[in-house]
């Protein structure tokens, strides 16, 4: 007869996490088709800015004398003051610089946030985000071993707060909203999102990195909905990557609820999450210059119009987004991969199938109108525009 100890079975070893294929790697098969054209591939699949950042920022980056020593993780005070000035100028909202933090571009912030919030609220395990969205919201939940729960959007690609299951709301660590949205360019009702967060005791983080490129009405921030109660439960997230063509320098910032911001400042400093000193100095110069943003707005708007003309020539209507610099286009017969291949074969251009941005994106393609004008004119010429 065996002893009781002999009957004890070890717990099964959990399966190791295997990262999914990076979505854009799936486009490699189409690159030879694009490269066959005179002038080569025009990559419209990724929203990488190519225009120059403001000269004052480059000068500050080169001569800041800030490369020695460790910069403060929360951001130097002059940077946080510059962020506060920009929020006031752009949105008419006053934020204390102490309620601003720096991050190493907002992608790392989005990806790491659920980990930090799970430490703060171990009783909750769910990340809510729009069902058609930048994939890092979902990946951030995965990294934190949380539930990633997509929230339906309406026909204008605005998040449907009424569609959130009460059981998911009760478990939610955070609700992400994204305005203007990537990829579809929708404009959420940020005041309604703030109210939903207050009602359900769920922090609302608003990714507003494309705010400067809002085409329908003025730019907006969720902080406008929180002035009366000190931004309780609300944090706005911004970046210089799109606004100032500063993606290579990795500088973002978050602002809002003093308790949430302080918590994130404190926990992030333990991980050494520091924006390099010269980049912070350059960020001040970029934030204080609005002229280059106005010029960039015109460039992107003109490029979107050219993109519409290209797809019209192909017989594919391309709606103008409410914001952002992407065309989000319904594919003929819902076949996004066929349209992707057609663009490679007929225009030498690489675009992204909408499924990269969630299952609900199937049937669409995203076209990033970020390449220089000469490259975009090349695509137009190839299709006869």
DSSP letters of 254-297?
Answer: EEE-HHHHHHHHHHHHHTT----HHHHHHHHHHHT--HHHHHHH
256 CB contacts (<8 Å, ≥6 apart)? 95, 99, 222, 223, 226, 231, 234, 235, 236
Q: Give the predicted TM-score (pTM) of the model.
A: 0.92
Structure-token match 């990557």, residue found: 241
**What's the per-residue H, E or C state across 358-383?**
CHHHCCEEEEECCCCHHHHHHHHHHH
- Are residues 305 and 298 in contact, defined by beta-carbon separation less than 8 angstroms? no
Token readout for 227 is 């002035």
> In percent, how much of the chain has pLDDT > 70?
97
Token readout for 40 is 């080569």
Parallel, antiparallel or unpaired: strands 234-239 and 252-256? antiparallel
Residue-level pLDDT at 16: 83
What is the distance, to the nearest Å, from the Cα of residue 96 to the centroid of all Cα atoms in its chain?
24
Nearest-Å Rg of the Cα atoms of the chain is 22
Residue-level pLDDT at 4: 54
Domains of the chain: 21-52+291-383 (3.90.1150.10), 55-287 (3.40.640.10)
Residue-level pLDDT at 10: 67
Token readout for 276 is 């390099």
Going by C-alpha positions, the residue among 364, 383, 380, 375 that lies closest to residue 321 is 364
Residue pLDDT tens, the chain, 385 long: 455 555 566 667 677 888 777 888 889 999 999 999 999 999 999 999 999 999 999 999 888 888 888 999 999 999 999 999 999 999 999 999 999 999 999 999 999 999 999 999 999 999 999 999 999 999 999 999 999 999 999 999 999 999 999 999 999 999 999 999 999 999 999 999 999 999 999 999 999 999 999 999 999 999 999 999 999 999 999 999 999 999 999 999 999 999 999 999 999 999 999 999 999 999 999 999 999 999 999 999 999 999 999 999 999 999 999 999 999 999 999 999 999 999 999 999 999 999 999 999 999 999 999 999 999 999 999 999 9
Residue-level pLDDT at 163: 98
DSSP H/E element including 110: helix 106-120
Residue-level pLDDT at 107: 95
- Are residues 197 and 235 in contact, defined by beta-carbon separation less than 8 angstroms? no
149 CB contacts (<8 Å, ≥6 apart)? 126, 127, 128, 129, 165, 168, 172
First-to-last CA distance in the chain? 85
């Amino acid at each position: 007869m065996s002893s009781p100890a002999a009957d004890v079975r070890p717990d099964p070893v959990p399966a190791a996490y295997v990262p999914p294929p990076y979505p854009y790697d799936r486009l490699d098969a189409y690159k030879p088709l694009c490269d066959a054209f005179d002038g080569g591939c025009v990559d419209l699949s990724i929203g990488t800015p190519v225009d120059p950042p403001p000269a004052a920022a480059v000068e500050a980056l080169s001569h800041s004398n800030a490369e020695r020593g460790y910069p403060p993780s929360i951001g130097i005070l002059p940077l946080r003051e510059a962020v506060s000035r920009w929020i006031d100028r752009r949105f008419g909202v006053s934020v204390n610089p102490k309620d601003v933090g720096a991050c190493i571009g907002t992608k790392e912030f989005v990806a790491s946030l659920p980990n930090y919030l799970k430490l703060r609220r171990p009783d909750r395990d769910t990340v809510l985000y729009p069902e058609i969205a930048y994939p890092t919201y979902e990946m951030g939940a995965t990294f934190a071993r949380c539930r990633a729960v997509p929230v339906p959007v309406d026909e204008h690609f605005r998040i449907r707060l009424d569609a959130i299951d009460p059981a998911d709301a009760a478990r939610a660590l955070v609700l992400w909203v994204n305005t203007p949205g990537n990829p579809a360019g929708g404009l959420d009702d940020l005041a309604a999102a703030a109210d939903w967060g207050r009602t359900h005791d769920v922090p609302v983080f608003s990714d507003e990195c494309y705010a400067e490129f809002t085409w329908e009405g003025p730019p907006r921030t969720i902080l406008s909905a929180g002035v009366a109660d000190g931004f309780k439960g609300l944090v706005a997230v911004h970046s210089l990557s799109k606004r100032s063509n500063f993606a290579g320098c990795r500088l973002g910032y978050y602002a809002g609820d003093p308790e949430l911001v302080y918590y994130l400042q404190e926990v992030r400093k333990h991980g050494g999450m520091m924006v390099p000193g010269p980049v912070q100095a350059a960020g001040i110069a970029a934030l204080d210059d609005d002229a280059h943003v106005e010029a960039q707005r015109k460039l992107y708007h003109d490029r979107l119009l050219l993109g519409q003309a290209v797809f019209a020539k192909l017989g594919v209507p391309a709606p103008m987004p409410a914001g952002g610099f992407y065309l989000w286009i319904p594919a003929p017969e819902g076949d996004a991969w066929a349209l992707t291949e057609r663009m490679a074969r007929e225009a030498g251009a690489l675009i992204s199938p909408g499924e990269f941005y969630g299952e609900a994106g199937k049937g669409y393609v995203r076209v990033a109108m970020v390449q220089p004008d000469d490259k975009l004119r090349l695509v137009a010429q190839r299709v006869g525009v």
